[in-house]
Amino acid sequence: MARTVNPEIHARRRAAIIEAAAVEFARNGIDGTSTAAICKRAGIGSGTLFHYFPTKQEIALAVFADDIPRVEELCARALAESDPDRGLDMMIDHLLDELVDPLAPGLASAATIQANRDPDFAAVLQTIDGMVRRTLTTLLRRVNKRLGRSLPLPAASAARWIQGLVDAGHLGIVDGPRAQTVKDLRRIVAWLAGLPK
Amino acid sequence: MARTVNPEIHARRRAAIIEAAAVEFARNGIDGTSTAAICKRAGIGSGTLFHYFPTKQEIALAVFADDIPRVEELCARALAESDPDRGLDMMIDHLLDELVDPLAPGLASAATIQANRDPDFAAVLQTIDGMVRRTLTTLLRRVNKRLGRSLPLPAASAARWIQGLVDAGHLGIVDGPRAQTVKDLRRIVAWLAGLPK
DNA sequence: GTCTATATTCAGATAGAC
DNA sequence: GTCTATCTGAATATAGAC
């Protein structure tokens, strides 16, 4: 009598591995993380790890690819708002939430390096980035057309810079008191969105 | 008598190793770069590499520490300008020059990861960042006091964000046509510096 | 557990300065 | 010719993917 697969347990375990891997990757980079370290943190044996993922590369891919549905849903909700300023707020809020994650700087760095070498990985990053950028661009254009405000930069450029600013926050370069950082960022975004002082 | 040390040749070769290492680190990260790869690119044997540097860590440190004098000189010159706007321009120009370097995104990522593990390395990054930030802050304060313009953000915050924006460019997230990127950045900086439209 | 990859070492080989 | 800074690349030992 063969043991039947329990998909729920499988998914949970897979998620636990991804979580453990994310912590290690953020701290030590992908090459700097041994599969043993992931196993230890996830509380599993190495055999189990390679039952869930064929290679370390695939784990790295999954860490980021798992975000795609979440981002998709966020973008869809922001675009569904009738007031583009509300949609922008929603996007910014979520981007800022990520920013609070202490793993963010390390993960962003690890990702940049990995994207140099793994085209599949690069594609995943591009998917996420592109989705966010297109959403922000659309929202900014709506601000422009529907609300009649004029933007200091073209919508597409402004969208890129908003992403850039958030990523700068990710890198931890802008590392003042968190509250001040968030306040500043909102002010800059407001300017980019053509809001009056 | 014995053969004497030639400091000039030694320095040149050391620089060549650092240059080769920077290329490899930018492409593959520090852990992802083998000492053999550095040797190959530098055109030397592995023995020679370890004659110049005791460990790979030390090579990584040198890649960034070598920038300190250059940055010091830049900051000193910018602060010596009587017109703070000229000083700001000077800083921005140099920051943008770095941004044009195709190695910048990879090196920035590699550095972030390395700083997590090597305190000496972290100190080097902090030195460079702090120097630039203090210089920008001082220049922005002068804009405020001497020229009587008021800034949309406190000088210290604005300085951090300028660095953040440049680093966002480093990460390659803002990767539109180069000319447009540079133009946008100047516009944002002008706003941060309180210049009228 | 196996097997590869790789950081570091070492025992010379080479060649410039006197 | 001698002395030594400098270089080399095979050898070692260890780590780590699978």
CA distance A191 to B153: 12
Instruction: Among B109, B151, B180, pick the best mutation site for testing chain A contact (most A Cβ within 10 A).
Output: B109
Confidence of residue A168 (pLDDT cuts 50, 70, 90): confident
Q: Report residue B146 as tokens.
A: 């001497």
CATH top class, domain B7-59: mainly alpha
Confidence of residue B70 (pLDDT cuts 50, 70, 90): very high
What is the amino acid identity at position A123?
Answer: A
Bases of chain D below 7 A from a protein C-beta are 2-11, 15-18
Q: Which residues contact A190 (CB under 8 A, 6 or more apart)?
A: none
Distance from CA(B52) to C1'(D16), angstroms, rounded: 28
Residue with minimal CA–C1' distance to D17 is A35
A29 touching chain B per CB within 8 A: yes
pLDDT tens-place string over residues B112-127: 899 989 999 999 999 9
What is the amino acid identity at position B59?
Answer: I
Q: What is the DSSP letter of B89?
A: H
pLDDT tens-place string over residues A71-88: 999 999 999 999 999 999
CA distance B188 to B158: 10
Mean pLDDT of B122-151: 92
Residues of B in contact with A194 (CB under 8 A): none
What is the amino acid identity at position B69?
Answer: P
Q: What is the DSSP letter of A174?
A: S
Q: Could you give the residue range(s) of every CATH 1.10.10.60 domain in chain B?
A: 7-59
Confidence of residue A148 (pLDDT cuts 50, 70, 90): confident
Mean pLDDT of B135-161: 90
Long-range (24+ apart) CB contacts under 8 A made by B18-23 are B18/B59, B18/B62, B18/B63, B18/B66, B21/B59, B21/B60, B21/B63, B22/B63, B22/B103, B22/B107, B23/B103
- The answer to whether residues A24 and A41 touch, using CB atoms and an 8 Å cutoff, is yes
Nearest CA in chain A to B197: A152
Looking at residue B197, what is its pLDDT?
Answer: 55
SS3 B185: helix
Shortest Cα distance, chain B CAs vs residue A47, angstroms: 24
Distance from CA(A34) to C1'(D14), angstroms, rounded: 14
Q: What is the DSSP letter of A151?
A: P
B55 touches strand C (CB under 7 A): yes
Residues of A in contact with B197 (CB under 8 A): 152
Q: Which residues contact A120 (CB under 8 A, 6 or more apart)?
A: A61
CATH top class, domain A7-60: mainly alpha
Q: Which fold has domain B67-192?
A: Tetracycline Repressor; domain 2 (1.10.357)
Is the Cβ pair A113, B112 closer than 8 Å?
Answer: no
**Top-confidence residue, A17 or A193:** A17
CA distance B155 to A168: 18
Q: Could you give the residue range(s) of every CATH 1.10.10.60 domain in chain A?
A: 7-60
Shortest Cα distance, chain B CAs vs residue A9, angstroms: 33
Helix axes A104-117 and A155-171, enclosed angle (nearest 10): 110
Distance from CA(B65) to C1'(C18), angstroms, rounded: 37
Cα Rg for chain B, rounded, in angstroms? 19
Q: Could you give the residue range(s) of every CATH 1.10.357.10 domain in chain A?
A: 67-192
Q: Which residues contact A61 (CB under 8 A, 6 or more apart)?
A: A118, A120, A121, A124
Q: Report residue B101 as tokens.
A: 């370097």
CA distance A171 to B102: 19
Residue with minimal CA–C1' distance to D3 is B2
Residues of B in contact with A161 (CB under 8 A): 165, 168, 174, 184, 188
SS3 A111: helix
The full DSSP string for B146-180 is: HH-PPPSS-HHHHHHHHHHHHHHHHTTSS-S-HHH
